[in-house]
Amino acid sequence: MLRVGLTGGIGSGKSTVAQRFSELGAVVIDADRLAREVVAAGSPGLEAVVARFGEGVLDDAGALNRAALGAVVFADEQARRDLEGITHPLIARRTAELVAAAPDDAIVVHDVPLLVEKDYGPGYHLVLVVGADEQTRTKRLTRTRGMTESDARSRIAAQATDPQRRTAADVWLQNDGAKDDLLAAVDDLWHARLVPFEDNVRRGIRAPRAEELVLVPHDPTWSAQANRLLARLRLAFGDALVTADHVGSTAVPGLLAKDVIDLQVGVRSLADADDPGLVERLTRAGFPRPGGQWADNGKDGTAWPKRFHGTADPGRPANLHVREVASPGWRWALMFRDWLRAEPGASEEYAGLKGRLAATGLTSSEYADAKEPWFDGIHDSAEDWALRTGWEPSGG
């Protein structure tokens, strides 16, 4: 099963995307619909609302008068929290029931207007945001919902900003053009990424890796992408996680790199990383463990043991290295990253090596092996820098 969080500002076209996913075969769960369902006439939710706010929030037919309730809660922060305390657990319970009832091979699309505001992103395999500029959204709201321009802009301003949504988005669908263009983008996302992603998660396998070596300029969004993945890993690891960091070349601003994000999780013991329950949680979260024994080439001539997980997502290559906190491999990953960040000369030398190796036509696997002599050669320089600056590992 694949869980996709879908969100977007008012007037962005999120409902159109949700409808298309439903047509493609997704199980779509509409948070707004559930919010109405849990306080429907005769429901325990409505009884609890009336008990807290009084019968003045009911209409003549005994149903919830949303305008009357809104007038109470939006002017009183405590009242709003009390309402959320009643409805949110009911919505969460109903959502869990619908997810549990979905087929094992389902792609569950959870349509959540406040996904960004409530920081729900880590609970999904992917977060999809539908975006449109303010002018486009304002025109849609005045045309389709009868709002005044002032009301429309006020509603837009009350929600998360586009920069906040972009930080949360694994996928951004810009929707300022024709509806057919939006639907085509949804179809492409479904077939090229979501369907194979779900299949990989269900089967517990990594997404296929390209052996063709391609180096690209630094992408300033790599850091935000890594942070989203780390948030999901923190949720999956739970108390077993001690540190979680973005490491490797994509963590060094300005450095040429493969478009593969390397992540390091520090654990107290590799025995914790081998717990079957944890391995299963990571697999379900989209980070399966490939077979085989994994270790780093230690700079002291020994193998530095670790555990390794790859991503099941065909659209976002990523590697997860699990190492014991304070172990040589854990320390080296952090020191090497910080040394490259602090020493432009070292970063430039490394970039030059990368470019020369890539020009020889190596595969990705051959490229990784070909860099090892350089790593051995700069080990002392990195250690000297750490000693000179007083560097200490500070895993996040």
Known binding-site residues equal 11-16
Residues 6+ apart with CB under 8 A from 363: 211, 212, 213
Tokens 């949680």, residue located? 281
What stretch of H or E contains 333? Answer: helix 328-342
Q: How far apart are CA 302 and CA 295, in angstroms?
A: 10
CB 216 within 8 A of CB 257: yes
Q: How far apart are CA 266 and CA 190, in angstroms?
A: 34
Taking Cα atoms as reference points, which of 226, 207, 252, 235 lies closest to residue 321?
Answer: 226
For the annotated binding site for ATP, the residues are: 11-16
Rg (CA), the chain: 25
Please give the structure tokens belonging to residue 73: 């809660």
Please give the structure tokens belonging to residue 275: 């717990």
CB 65 within 8 A of CB 59: yes
Type of residue found at 381: S
CB-facing half-sphere around the CA of 60: CA atoms within 13 A: 0
What stretch of H or E contains 295? Answer: strand 295-297
Taking Cα atoms as reference points, which of 9, 17, 32, 14 lies closest to residue 160?
Answer: 9
Q: How far apart are CA 355 and CA 257, in angstroms?
A: 10
Beta-bridge partners for 250: none
